[in-house]
Amino acid sequence: MDMIDPFGRTISYLRVSVTDRCDFRCTYCMAEDMAFLPKKDLLSLEELDRLCSTFIEKGVRKLRLTGGEPLVRKNIMHLVRQLSRHLKSGALDELTLTTNGSQLARFAGELADAGVKRINVSIDTLDPEKFRTITRWGNLPKVLEGIEAAQQAGLQVKLNAVALKGFNEAEIPDLMRWAHGRGMDLTVIETMPMGEIDADRTDQYLPISVLRAQLERQFTLADIPYKTGGPARYVSVRETGGRLGLITPMTHNFCESCNRVRLTCTGTLYMCLGQDDAADLRGPLRASESNELVSRAIDEAIGRKPKGHDFIIDRRTSRPAVSRHMSVTGG
């Protein structure tokens, strides 16, 4: 049974934020003094498993664990191992996660053993000082060690970098050469107006079209039809032999092919990253031992999935487009 939204799109991709906590405080994502959710509001690992399994029964084929930082959630590997049964049964095509890499040296082997084939690691700069500045608390050598451990464990690693004007735009070529030289794709993402942060987003915002034009001064980029199930459009880079993904929520709205919904660690379902409309799944999940109520709540929510988002970053719109931080829904 497939989940089809009002615009005929099949919802086959669920992103699950397993925690709102993180061991970094990236300046474009979080405020430095974030207030985190009380533990009692969080779904237990068993409840997360039950919800994910319900979505899989309803046609989800790709599941991505996000955060915050998913690997700081206590006993997270228990959930990963539980969910891996759906890979074995063939009900799920892919179980993957997005991480800041800080805990990868510890968990890479276990992730691979549980059937995770590829992961995304968020990294915006290879300069240790700048890395500390952008993440506030991060340690670059630890992340690089984590990436190394992941590759040693046989995981395919893709790097995600947020394009930040005047911060890392000049470094993207080096980051790309470094990634491609190690067999990793790199995806570059425009910064999005989500949550009150301490920085001015108008100063940070770099359209990917501008970045692409800069890159084309020294690289030959060719559009390719490669897809990984998310919003990135890919180009091949002749000089490095690698792939570069471009995610453009601001300048090129990719909503027409949106196949995903996002579940937070409190059981709130967001049908669109850039809209505030949400559905509570924790209530129906806890109200009954059977999954009938929650299944009905999911159907009702998918029936409200909007056609798209309308992010704006400019001087007139100093308020974020949505009030929640990126760390709540994990990108």
For residue 91, pLDDT beyond 80:
yes
Q: What is the mean pLDDT of the segment spanning 36-59?
A: 95
Whether the per-residue pLDDT at 243 is higher than 80: the answer is yes
User: What average pLDDT does the segment 114-141 reach?
Assistant: 96
Q: What are phi and psi of 327, to 5 degrees?
A: -65, -15
Q: Is 143 helix (H, G, I), strand (E, B) or coil?
A: helix
All domains of the chain in start order, with CATH: 13-158+256-326 (3.20.20.70)
Q: Which amino acid is at 153?
A: A
Report the C-alpha gap between 298 and 213 in whole angstroms.
42
| Each residue's pLDDT tens digit, 309-321 | 776 656 565 566 6
**Average confidence (pLDDT) over 270-277:** 86
**Across the beta sheet with 94-99, what order do the strands follow?**
221-224, 233-237, 242-247, 185-190, 156-163, 118-122, 94-99, 62-66, 13-17, 260-263, 268-270, 278-280
CA 305 to chain centre: 19
Contacts (Cβ under 8 Å, ≥6 apart) of 249: 189, 190, 192, 231, 273, 274, 309, 311
User: What is the pLDDT, as a whole number, of residue 205?
Assistant: 82
Average pLDDT over every residue of 213-239:
94
Contact 271, 304 (CB under 8 A): yes
**CA pair distance 296, 280, nearest whole angstrom:** 12
Q: Residues 244, 176: contact at Cβ < 8 Å?
A: yes
pLDDT tens figures, 49-71 = 999 999 999 999 999 999 999 99
**Is residue 202 over pLDDT 60?**
yes
Between residues 227 and 197, the one the model is more confident about: 227
Q: CA-to-CA distance for 218 and 270, rounded, in angstroms? A: 40
Q: pTM (2 decimals)?
A: 0.92
Q: Which of 25-29, 142-146, 273-277, 320-324 has the lowest mean pLDDT?
A: 320-324
Q: Tell me the pLDDT band of 255, cut-offs 50, 70 and 90.
A: confident
Euclidean distance between CA atoms 271 and 304, whole angstroms? 8
With cut-offs at 50, 70 and 90, classify the pLDDT of residue 204.
confident
| Lowest mean pLDDT segment, chosen from 2-16, 30-44, 246-260 | 246-260
Report whether pLDDT(14) > 70. yes
**Sorting pLDDT into bands at 50, 70 and 90, what band is 40?**
confident
Instruction: For residue 128, name the pLDDT band (cuts at 50, 70, 90).
Output: very high
- Distance of alpha carbon 25 from its chain centroid, rounded? 16
- Give dist(CA 245, CA 86) in Å, integer: 28
In whole angstroms, what is the distance from residue 246 CA to residue 236 CA?
11
Using CA atoms, how far residue 324 sits from 71, 84, 152, 229, 278, in Å, is 21, 30, 36, 25, 12
Cis peptide before 68 (omega within 30 of 0): yes
Mean pLDDT over 219-227 rounds to 96
